[in-house]
Amino acid sequence: MKIAVLAGDGIGPEITAQAVRVLEVLARDGLDVQTESALVGGAAVDATGDPLPEETLRVCESARAILFGAVGGPAYDKLPRPQRPEQGLLRLRKHFDLFANLRPAMVYPELAEASPLKADIVAGLDILIMRELTGDIYFGQPRGIRTNEAGEREGFDTMRYSESEIRRIAQRGFEAARRRQRRLCSVDKANVLETTQLWRDVVTEVGKDYPDVELSHMYVDNAAMQLIRQPRQFDVIVTGNMFGDILSDAASMLTGSIGMLPSASLNASGFGMYEPIHGSAPDIAGTNKANPLATILSLAMLLRYSLDEEAAAAGWKPPYGKCWPMGCVRPISRVRVIKCQVAPKWATPWWQRSERRESGQEQAGRKHEQEVSGWSGGLAWHGGLGPDGPDARREGLRSVRSGVLQHVERGWQGADGRRAAGRRPRHQGPVRA
């Protein structure tokens, strides 16, 4: 089974490289998988003048799925629109008919304080936004900029949906709701837009085939408000391309960071493109600050939805809930350093090695240690403020042979070496992960 790896621009090569290392471990454990890389976005424009070269399409067409990094950057903003990096991504979606975009947003109780909203509003949040991805105003024709009869320039776009396009994404939404809490909210603007009146009519018709799923409708402006006011009222949200683009980014910030969530874009046959929902972050590219977790979780979705490797994907549950205390996830633009390395299968976690003697302070901190098995083959992450950090200290993040991650939170210590029990470090906000 071949996976096409399109790293793209900015931090894309950094984050996809870590996901590929995970795949290499799984391959050594017996998973039949290979990767082939190709250019996309700004990197492809620099090399060929085209954000989606024919060679890249050939690589993708011969693969079972695409692992995508990120595209774009200020250096390309003045290019003609067909040459801009984002066009490569849009053309991939259109070429492979990747009409169903799955964007989960989950908040574990331990991370609720990382959200900009009150913890009691977001704790336990679990939303799936199902966004139609190949229609709507992003692809409708005609579009352009012209001079009107008054001599002024005006821009115009076309919002367009066919009944079949609406029906197939609605069916995906209902099927997803059946596997969850059996509640589906369809978001539209039927009181203003004729296109979304058709949307509401078709979704209502499809709902008759799913009597076990509770269907509700909501205008997009109200949905945006309700996501902030009472987000846990939602289970699955199904909506069009433009509304889904906006609402899914808003929902991601309920979790505290747009940089920690995965996504999947699927067609009717199960072929998919998998990518983190954050952008290319060119301001931190090459500095080793980007957190690769969203890309690795996107890889887990790839294993499940496109490769049917449920056993391999099952252990890739995000480790936040069991092993990371409140506030340990920083937004991607503020992560200090994240390194990922594959440890030998026989490696013993450092805190279990007999030759290392713990201080009394470390022994006292053991009550804060939690373990969760993880990442077949073993992965180790090292936070950017290691033992010699200027204002805080955290040791941990080692993994053992079976599962996702084994993370030991050693507790915070001040610069003078004293344990900062019962308080956050002096740099407020989410702790560096």
- Identify any residues that bridge with 266 across adjacent strands, giving them in sequence order: 100, 272
The residue from 245, 274, 289, 320 that is catalytic is 245
The residue from 76, 108, 136, 138 that is catalytic is 138
The residue from 108, 136, 189, 210 that is catalytic is 189
- The Cα 166–Cα 110 span in angstroms is 38
Q: Which amino acid is at 223?
A: A
Q: Is 245 an active-site residue?
A: yes
- Identify any residues that bridge with 155 across adjacent strands, giving them in sequence order: 145
DSSP 8-state assignment for residue 119: H
Nearest to 198 by CA among 209, 186, 208, 212: 186
Q: Is 249 an active-site residue?
A: yes
Q: Is 208 an active-site residue?
A: no
- The Cα 131–Cα 153 span in angstroms is 32
Please state the three-class secondary structure of 296-307 as a single string. Answer: HHHHHHHHHHCC
Positive/negative CA dihedral, 337, 433, 233, 101: positive
DSSP 8-state assignment for residue 190: T
The residue from 32, 46, 221, 308 that is catalytic is 221
The residue from 219, 249, 317, 345 that is catalytic is 249
Q: Is 283 an active-site residue?
A: no
DSSP 8-state assignment for residue 87: H
Assign 168 to helix, strand or coil.
helix
Q: Is 32 an active-site residue?
A: no
Q: Tally the C-alpha atoms within 13 A of residue 278's C-alpha that lie toward its C-beta.
A: 27
- The Cα 170–Cα 202 span in angstroms is 8
> Mind telling me the catalytic residues?
138, 189, 221, 245, 249
